[in-house]
Amino acid sequence: MKKKSILFLLLGITALLIVCGGWLTKCSKVHTEILGEIHSPEYETPQEYEHEEYIEPPIDSLSQVFIEDFTQAVRQNNRSAIAKMIAYPLSQPYPLQDIANEKEFIKHYHRIFPKSLLQRLNTSTMDDWSQVGWRGIMFCNGHIWIDLFDSGVKIRTVNSDIDDNPQLYTDLENARQKERTLLGITDTHIIPFACYLSKDSTTLIHFTHDTVDGESYTTIYYNSHQIDWNLQTNSQLQLRCSHEIQGSCANDFYRATQDNDTIEIWDMNCGGFDDNEEYAYGFHVIADTTSQDKNLLDTIGTRYNADLNEYGYFALIPMYLQEIILPCNH
């Protein structure tokens, strides 16, 4: 009896496979007919695809001429000619102010183009430059970026490794120490790296990084009328914050929390200060309205969230703290 049951089971499975096989073949044929195939899928050989190698787009002729003129000016140490090839303002790391014009460029030439970068340029060829999509054309691994502006091809960005640039290291440390002094900070391992002011001048947001504990911090100053540049007279709150760099444009996003309240700050400018870029810089407070304990974030949130713009953020303006405080205190 047991053997008969097994036999019937095998026969049933075989019949099912025949039916399903015919159904699958029919579905496949219908599918291929819909696609316009005229051969049976049973005899179809799989198509082999080769991985296409990425081919870097060629640099346009206008940019090639610019690169040749630029490298020639570098080799001739023609700083005046190079100064005319820069798109101003040329971004500098905070708290150094951006290079505003040709005169400032020539003054800070060795900070912008250290010896190591000049040596690379002196021995460079067109092969050291590459087109990187919409981002522009870069030299080496992004040490220099050029782009097309209304006035023609210009140098948009010059990046330098601080460990390989003695002048940048000295200027940056001097500027940081000056800012630490203004803020009453005595620890040299505290590095100021960004500052923003709300467009109504009531909220100042300043960022520092602690190289010892590896954390970033934001100090928020608030005055319902207008920030007093004697900063200690304003309401203030310091919070540890997260800092994320997102997107192909390396936009900065900050987030800090106190109790159940959160402030989010963004810098999405992509390439330096641009006060005309509405909401490229902004902040938003997510306040816990159910809590009985109120703090400065609740106060700021109540002020701004009552009049939200369409993006849900209030606009900020990037600032140099020293530029604001020094003239006001002297």
Would you list the domain boundaries of the chain? 61-164, 187-329
Written as six digits, the tokens of 184 are 């009453």
241, amino acid identity: C
Angle at 232 between CA 229 and CA 235, to 5 degrees: 95
Asked whether the predicted pLDDT for residue 43 surpasses 60, the reply is no
Structure confidence by residue, pLDDT tens digits, 187-243 = 999 999 999 999 889 999 999 999 999 999 999 999 999 999 889 899 999 999 999
Structure confidence by residue, pLDDT tens digits, 44-92 = 333 444 545 545 678 999 999 999 999 999 999 999 999 999 999 999 9
d(CA 30, CA 242): 56
The closest alpha carbon to 98, from 329, 315, 271, belongs to 271
Mean pLDDT of 119-139: 93
